[in-house]
Amino acid sequence: MMNCLQQLRQYTTVVADTGDFDAIKTYQPEDATTNPSLLLKAAQQASYQHLVQAAVAAARAEQNTPEQRLEAAMDHLSIAFGRELTQVVPGYVSTEVDARLSFDRQATVDKAHRLMALYEAAGVGRERILIKVASTWEGIQAARELEQAGIRCNLTLLFSLPQAIACAEAGVTLISPFVGRILDWYQKTNDRTYSATEDPGVQSVQAIYRYYKTHGYDTIVMGASFRNEGEIEQLAGCDRLTISPALLESLQQRDNTLTRVLAPEQTSDLPRLSLNEAEFRWAMNEDAMATEKLAEGIRTFHRDAEALRDLLRPMLG
């Protein structure tokens, strides 16, 4: 009998939510995605010091000011990890834009072009890369421009249907709705636990998936940020799911029957919507969970990026 991970792969593309190459080789996902938190963790491991040193050397060679060298080192490190990941997965690798740019459309566009230029200089084609951008209004509009320029995007820190609608209307390649962080908020706010079928994060992604399929959007739905196997099982059939090594291992060890929950023929009762900036901001204002978790996620990614800068700064001299 197939284990749960093998059964899941019949319905869903499995993505590794890690920067650990050994874990990726073990579970052989189709895609890989990283963020500043995962890069910070990986950069502190002895096995990846050669990538850190290469990024530092590349930044030094640019002969800029200390602060410019530091930002160059951050960029080169992201590309170094991303390039290595393209060697161990056959599909997309996602690389995140600096969280500090989450509310600056033009700076996000400029950084995405910089990252893509570095990838191409390193011999990685743009068809292998997704640029990860926070699902703010500015981030979504930056992604619209980038997609039109042939740079594919992964819109992350997505917690609500209005964010998903704006992303689809912008023509982004992929969205990453966060399941577990939605659950965290509701458990803390309501002081209760939820079964997998009741899980607000699961229900949010199910609604987004069905809305997209009903209205013919090509944007890929990739559930992210899982807290348990039950959440993953309730999203079996979603386009993609990005899963941590610990949960991949757990799924691999289980052999209970996994039933497909989501399928393209399922429909949503919601009419097709298009949100302008004012409508988007009002919808976010009315959703305390989405507003709070988006802001918290940006702060967390920024905090971990700052810790990574602190790690690199002494190496740059």
Q: Mind telling me the catalytic residues?
A: 132
CA 232 – CA 146 distance, rounded (Å): 31
- Contact between 36 and 81 (Cβ < 8 Å): no
Q: Which residues contact 198 (CB under 8 A, 6 or more apart)?
A: none
Measure Cα distances from 151 to 128, 132, 154 in Å.
Answer: 10, 11, 10
* Three-state DSSP state, 272: coil
Pull the structure tokens for residue 313: 């700064």
Q: Which residues are registered as beta bridge partners of 242?
A: 15
Return contacts of 38-44, CB within 8 angstroms, 24+ apart.
39/77, 39/78, 39/81, 39/304, 39/308, 40/304, 40/305, 40/307, 40/308, 40/311, 42/81, 43/77, 43/308, 43/311, 44/311
Residues in the chain: 317
